[in-house]
Structure formats: structure tokens, C-alpha cells
């Protein structure tokens, strides 16, 4: 996935352009995008998820997303 797509996806989750989202926002957005099973649990230890965190999850460590992505 190219960087412009990642930026667009993150901006959907961060409509106020704060540069971060909460773990709850992140989990719900991933569910809405079909990238996380509704019953899947993600690590919510961080106080905020930055664009870099999001990019790392999607591009560098996508296994947790791929494992739970909906099959169409």
C-alpha cells in the first residue's frame, strides 16, 4: 500500500487532524474498514496511536491485520 493511501486512511480515523487517535478509535476504525474482526482484541497499552504507529502496523507488521481481515 502506498503512503498516500495510508495517509488517507489515517485521516479518516483522525478527522480533527490531531496527528493521533486513541486505541479505542483505532480499534473501531479497523473494524469499520473490515481490517479487524469484531471479536479481535488489539493491544491498547498505548495512550495514542500516531500515523507512524498505524503505518508500522499496516506495512511492517501486518500479520495481525491479515490474520483477522474479513474474507470476501
Which CATH number do you get for residue 44? 1.10.238
Percent of the chain with pLDDT over 90: 15
The whole-chain average pLDDT of the chain stands at 77
CA nearest 9: which of 46, 72, 39, 25? Answer: 25
Q: Name the domain count of the chain.
A: 1
Whole-prediction pTM: 0.65
pLDDT of 65 strictly over 60 = no
Distance CA 16, CA 60 (A): 26
Which residue segment(s) compose the domain that 20 sits in?
3-68
At 23-52, the pLDDT tens digits run 888 888 778 777 777 676 676 677 899 998
Amino acid at each position: 500500500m502506498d503512503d498516500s493511501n495510508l495517509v488517507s486512511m489515517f485521516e479518516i480515523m483522525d478527522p480533527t487532524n490531531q496527528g493521533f487517535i486513541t486505541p479505542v478509535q483505532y480499534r473501531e476504525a479497523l473494524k469499520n474498514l473490515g481490517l479487524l474482526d469484531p471479536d479481535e482484541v488489539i493491544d491498547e497499552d498505548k495512550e495514542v496511536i500516531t500515523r507512524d504507529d498505524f503505518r508500522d502496523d499496516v506495512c511492517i507488521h501486518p500479520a495481525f491485520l491479515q490474520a483477522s481481515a474479513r474474507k470476501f
